[in-house]
């Protein structure tokens, strides 16, 4: 792995952490709707870094968390986060970032906003729930539909974050050249 | 330093990290074979007693349970409506116990020991060109980057507030990330200039 790639995945792992720790944002479209932005970081890792590096940066972030750094939004960390009811969502982040990165490159759309929006919804929401809901069902002894219901409260927020990720991606690609790694 | 570890010298602190992790995994799996609420509630009380025995800082850590409460309550309610309240208590107590036990391991294991114990799980990443030494460097970079990023963000946020009087919006993130990626490339260049990469 190139040193640049290594530093970039470290940077995005830190970015996911930082986005979980900074105070809340207002969304440009819906001012007054505050969101915490950790999953936004996951979506952006995929969309901006590409599938492979995006997934690796999430994995690195989770590794640092597992080792005890309290970097999850809300200040949790340690191996306990992988025993909790939401562990499936965390594992889903890895695959979600991968799928978001893959979709961002594969979608034949001109608009960076539309591509990033679909990529974030697909990777950052659908794939994440694909892992999170069955885990919750299993670990809490719920059936799948009830487990989905338990997570449903977060879906609107996650959809808003996908829109946020699309905003950021569009602005990013307008001002900065695509990172070399997302072309390869 | 931000850390989940509490320094101390209890028997839990002295036990090797890998042993604790293996026992934790075994116990966690075992919990799924426990039926009925009573043994699990007893387990939760037992775990809380261990926290109390570890002292006040350990007990203070229990406040980190707060982010978990909403989902535990939802699970309890859904279970209660579907299968009755005994099932609800069973499910919630089992989850709480799993997390309490895991947090005990986190609190009594220094980060470096934990890294050594978990790192073998990441060995397959070698196919991506990530060997143990690169992972260690990346780990250190993350730990260093987080406070740097937060400082940088605060600066931008203050500038934004001074100019607009409003809360920061997502608009601030794109130029932030663009600047950060340039910073990342400079860091990478300095690493290579100092001979990090083998030629």
pLDDT at residue B89, rounded to an integer? 93
How far, in Å, CA of A62 to CA of A65, rounded?
A: 5
CB pairs under 8 A between A and B: 236
Q: Give tens-digit pLDDT for B133-158.
A: 899 999 999 999 999 999 999 999 89
Question: B174 to chain A: which residues are within 8 Å by CB?
Answer: 167-169, 171-172, 175-176
Contact A141 B4 (CB under 8 A): no
Contact A71 B2 (CB under 8 A): yes
Those of residues 45-64 in A touching chain B at CB distance below 8 A are: 48, 52, 56, 59-61, 63-64
Question: B178 to chain A: which residues are within 8 Å by CB?
Answer: 172, 175-176
How close, in Å, is residue B3 to chain A by CA atoms? 5
Q: Is the pLDDT of residue A184 over 50?
A: no
Residues of chain B with pLDDT under 50: 1
Q: Are B32 and B90 in contact (CB under 8 A)?
A: no
Q: Is the pLDDT of residue A180 over 70?
A: no
Six-digit token string for A67: 């080792």
Q: Are A97 and A123 in contact (CB under 8 A)?
A: yes
- pLDDT higher at A105 or A180: A105
Q: Assess B22–A contact: CB distance below 8 Å, yes or no.
A: no
How close, in Å, is residue B42 to chain A by CA atoms? 18
Distance in Å from the first CA to the final CA of chain A: 13
Average confidence score pLDDT of chain A: 86
Residues 6+ apart with CB under 8 A from B67: A72, A73, A74, A75, A76
Distance in Å from the first CA to the final CA of chain B: 35
How close, in Å, is residue B71 to chain A by CA atoms? 7
pLDDT at residue B61, rounded to an integer? 86
Q: Is the pLDDT of residue A58 over 50?
A: yes
Q: What is residue A73's three-state secondary structure? A: coil
Q: Are A67 and B102 in contact (CB under 8 A)?
A: no
Other Cβ atoms within 10 Å of B137 Cβ, number: 16
How far, in Å, CA of A163 to CA of B169, rounded?
A: 13
- Count Cβ neighbours within 10 Å for each residue of A7-42 and write b for 16 or more, e otherwise: bbbbbbbbbbbbbbbbeebbbeeeeeeebbbbbbbb
pLDDT more than 90, % of chain A: 52
Alpha helices of chain B — where are they, by DSSP H?
A: 11-14, 17-31, 37-54, 56-60, 69-83, 85-107, 111-118, 132-164, 173-193
Alpha helices of chain A — where are they, by DSSP H?
A: 3-21, 38-49, 51-66, 87-106, 112-119, 128-140, 144-152, 155-175, 180-183
Q: Are B107 and B6 in contact (CB under 8 A)?
A: yes
Q: Give tens-digit pLDDT for A128-173.
A: 999 999 999 998 888 898 888 887 877 888 898 999 999 999 998 8
Residues 6+ apart with CB under 8 A from B117: B17, B18, B20, B21, B109
H or E segment and range at residue A35:
strand A34-35
DSSP states of B115-145: HHHHGGGGGGGGGGT--HHHHHHHHHHHHHH
pLDDT at residue A48, rounded to an integer? 94
How close, in Å, is residue B19 to chain A by CA atoms? 14
How far, in Å, CA of B84 to CA of A81, rounded?
A: 27
How far, in Å, CA of B169 to CA of B176, rounded?
A: 12
Question: B5 to chain A: which residues are within 8 Å by CB?
Answer: 68
pLDDT at residue A177, rounded to an integer? 59
Those of residues 120-159 in B touching chain A at CB distance below 8 A are: 122, 125, 128-130, 134-135, 137-139, 141-143, 145-146, 148-150, 153, 157
Tell me the whole-structure pTM to 2 decimals.
0.90
Contact B4 A70 (CB under 8 A): yes
């Amino acid at each position: 792995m190139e040193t640049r790639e290594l530093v970039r995945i470290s940077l995005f792992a830190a970015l996911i952490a930082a986005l979980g720790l900074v105070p809340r944002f207002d969304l440009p479209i819906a001012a007054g709707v505050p969101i915490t932005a950790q999953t936004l970081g996951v979506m952006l890792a995929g969309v901006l870094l590409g599938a492979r590096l995006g997934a690796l940066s999430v994995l690195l972030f989770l590794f640092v968390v597992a080792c005890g750094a309290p970097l999850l939004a809300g200040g949790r960390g340690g191996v306990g986060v992988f025993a909790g009811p939401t562990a499936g969502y965390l594992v889903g982040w890895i695959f979600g970032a991968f799928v978001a990165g893959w979709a961002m490159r594969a979608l034949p759309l001109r608009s960076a906003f539309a591509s990033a929006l679909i990529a974030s919804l697909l990777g950052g929401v659908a794939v994440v729930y694909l892992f999170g809901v069955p885990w919750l069902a299993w670990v809490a002894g719920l059936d799948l539909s009830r487990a989905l219901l338990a997570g449903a409260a977060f879906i609107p927020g996650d959809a808003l974050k996908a829109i946020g990720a699309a905003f950021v991606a569009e602005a990013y690609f307008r001002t900065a050249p695509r990172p070399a790694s997302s072309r390869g | 330093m931000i850390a989940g570890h509490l320094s101390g010298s209890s028997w839990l602190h002295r036990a090797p990290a890998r042993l604790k992790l293996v026992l934790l995994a075994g116990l966690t799996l075992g919990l799924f074979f426990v039926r009925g609420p009573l043994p699990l509630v007893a387990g939760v009380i037992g775990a809380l007693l261990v926290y109390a025995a570890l002292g006040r800082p350990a007990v203070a850590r229990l406040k980190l349970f707060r982010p978990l409460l909403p989902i535990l309550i939802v699970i309890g309610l859904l279970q209660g409506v579907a299968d009755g309240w005994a099932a609800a208590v069973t499910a919630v107590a089992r989850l709480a116990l799993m997390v309490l036990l895991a947090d005990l391991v986190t609190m009594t294991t220094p980060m470096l020991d934990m890294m050594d114990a978990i790192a073998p799980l990441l060995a397959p990443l070698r196919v991506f060109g990530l060997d143990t030494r690169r992972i260690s460097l990346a780990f250190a970079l993350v730990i260093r980057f987080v406070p740097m990023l937060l400082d940088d963000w605060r600066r931008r946020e203050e500038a934004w507030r001074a100019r607009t009087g409003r809360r920061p919006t997502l608009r601030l993130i794109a130029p932030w990330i663009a600047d950060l990626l340039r910073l990342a490339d400079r860091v990478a260049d300095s690493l290579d200039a100092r001979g990090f990469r083998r030629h």
